[in-house]
Amino acid sequence: MRKIFTLIIALFGVLTLSAQTQSTRLSISSMKDISYVTLNGRAYYLNGRDRDRAIHLNNLSSGRYLVKVYTRRNGRGGYSGYGNANNGVLLYQGYVQLRRGFHTDLFINRFGRGFLDEERIVYRSGRYVHDDDDDYYEYDDRWNQPSRQAMSASSFQQLKQTIGGQSFDQTRVNIAKQAIKDNAFTSAQAKELLELLSFEDNKLELAKMLYPVVTDRSNYIIVYDVFNFSSNKDKLADYITNYRD
């Protein structure tokens, strides 16, 4: 019995270590104070301390992210609290590819240039070996994901057929709006719905309505491909940046 119990404990330890090493982390640090950062339009705010120049984002999904880093609008003295998207001035933007099991580090110099590095995540005694909790404000993205289940593939295909069978763009939008009230979607499903529409204004309206009900917001960047005009992409990005659950 004792051997079985020991084996269970050992197996649990192996599974825990495996889960830890399969996580994905992003650290962003800057020579200037950071007001907030966005990943694919989703904002992460620092806690308003006097010297906030770094942030850890833990348990992110692997993939490609558009990263924007904002510094304080009026310098340190002009900061009027966190949670206000109007307080930031864009310091840096660029794409970052995050790999599962790796910690990616983005450093931004005083001129707004970014430098990337990464290394495999290693844990010792249940702690990430390069953690420095005193210097970083940390987010665990596991607790910030929508908990709803996305529409099943079969139900989604039925919805697409219904919407696609309509002659008028506005009718398609109205049916999609009804579906959004009671369902959640993946980013890929949201993109497919938007591709059924003809007019950019309708696509933008629906894209804004879909964002709160997608289950993988970190992948919502794929939706931008449905727009032909950069102005509409910018409008959607602004909406996502300022969106609050």
pLDDT for residue 204 is more than 80: yes
pLDDT for residue 236 is more than 80: yes
Residue 127 is predicted with a pLDDT of: 52
Nearest to residue 41, comparing CAs of 227, 185, 223?
223
Residue 7 is predicted with a pLDDT of: 40
Q: pLDDT-derived band of residue 104, with 50, 70 and 90 as boundaries?
A: very high
Which bin fits 59, alpha (ψ -120 to 50), beta or left (φ > 0)?
A: left
Q: What is the pLDDT of residues 138-185, one digit of tens each?
A: 665 554 554 568 889 999 999 999 999 999 999 999 999 999 988 899
Every domain of the chain and the residues it spans? 22-144, 153-242
Question: Residue 67, SS3?
Answer: strand
Residue 210 is predicted with a pLDDT of: 94
Q: What is the CA radius of gyration of the chain?
A: 21
CATH class, range 22-144? mainly beta
Q: Which H or E run contains 105?
A: strand 102-108
Crossing angle for the helix pair 153-164 and 169-182, to the nearest 10 degrees: 150
Cβ(87)–Cβ(80) below 8 Å: yes
Q: What is the pLDDT of residues 73-88, one digit of tens each?
A: 654 433 333 334 445 7
Crossing angle for the helix pair 200-210 and 169-182, to the nearest 10 degrees: 0
Q: pTM here?
A: 0.47
Percent of the chain with pLDDT over 90: 35
C-alpha–C-alpha distance, residues 78 and 87, integer Å? 9
Task: Spell out a b/e string for 19-48, using b for 16 or more CB atoms within 10 Å of the CB, else e.
Answer: ebeebbbbbbbbebbbbbbbbbbbbbbbee
Cβ(118)–Cβ(103) below 8 Å: yes
